[in-house]
Amino acid sequence: MARVGVVTFPGSLDDGDAARAVRLAGGEPVRLWHGDADLRGVDAVVLPGGFSYGDYLRCGAIARFAPVMEPLVDAARGGLPVLGICNGFQVLCEAHLLPGALVRNDHRTFRCTDQRLRVENAGTAWTHEYETGEEVVVPLKNGEGGYLADERTLDELEAEGRVVLRYVVPDGGRNPNGSARDIAGVTNAAGTVVGLMPHPEHAVEAGFGPDPRTGTAGTDGLRLFSSALRRLVA
């Protein structure tokens, strides 16, 4: 069984949920502690959501320097699949494993909502069980989820198919946090490191995820975890 590490930083909140998602997807979650520079031989890593170090300076800015990040950054550069969810995405950007940065939502409030997303790249380690163009509904909850990068970087990301997920925005509407080009998630060039603001780990069990009234079974997030697992086992 593939072993997937889930890192706990001080202030991590969705670490237990990420571990549950790994388990429900058929993997073995392995808890990793921020203070240990040791990946315990895992096959992939999830950096979970939360407010590491209170997110006081900038989201993810302090967690990026945690001891566990040293082996993680090296391993990620070497091809280890890494998924950063929300705060985990912010940590990956601060650690320069992914381009860009996440800033305060343009409406300046925290927003928790069932969010419709479009899968733009179903070729990454974490999305290959989806279809390109498929729409899914997954909870989104953040105060600083606006994805920004300079125009050149954004053009590059699009040209290389490195935009993994986009917010589905109704005609005339705006995306939920002011993200450039409605970007909800991006990947590195190898398609192994993926970061996204929405929370797939909160859409893995019917009845505990998005409201069925939004037209979803509530389990659209599960395939992110099973994608990685299947590829690792195969």
Catalytic residue among 34, 86, 94, 202: 86
Contact 72, 39 (CB under 8 A): yes
Contact 84, 45 (CB under 8 A): no
Closest Cα partner for 8 from 70, 68, 94? Answer: 68
Minimum distance, C-beta of residue 132 to another protein, in the bound complex (Å): 27
Closest Cα partner for 139 from 228, 53, 205? Answer: 205
Considering only residues 116, 166, 199, 231, which one is a binding residue for another protein as defined by CB under 8 A?
Answer: 199
Catalytic residue among 34, 59, 201, 202: 201
Q: Which of residues 108-167 bind another protein (CB under 8 A)?
A: 108-113, 139, 141, 143, 146, 148-150
Minimum distance, C-beta of residue 118 to another protein, in the bound complex (Å): 21
* Torsion angles phi and psi, residue 71, rounded to 5: -65, -30
Does 182 bind another protein (CB under 8 A)? Our answer is no
Nearer to another protein, 1 or 56 (CB): 56
* Torsion angles phi and psi, residue 140, rounded to 5: -125, 135
Does 79 bind another protein (CB under 8 A)? Our answer is no
User: Phi/psi class of residue 14: alpha, beta or left (left: φ > 0; alpha: ψ in -120 to 50)?
Assistant: alpha
Nearer to another protein, 39 or 138 (CB): 138
Nearer to another protein, 89 or 125 (CB): 89
CA distance linking residue 188 with residue 125, whole number of Å: 11
Angle between helices 222-233 and 15-24 (to 10 degrees): 60
User: Catalytic residue positions?
Assistant: 86, 199, 201
> For binding to another protein (CB under 8 A), which residues are involved?
10-11, 13-14, 16-17, 20, 35, 49-51, 53-58, 61-62, 65, 93-94, 99-101, 103-113, 139, 141, 143, 146, 148-150, 178, 199, 201-202, 204-205, 207-209, 213
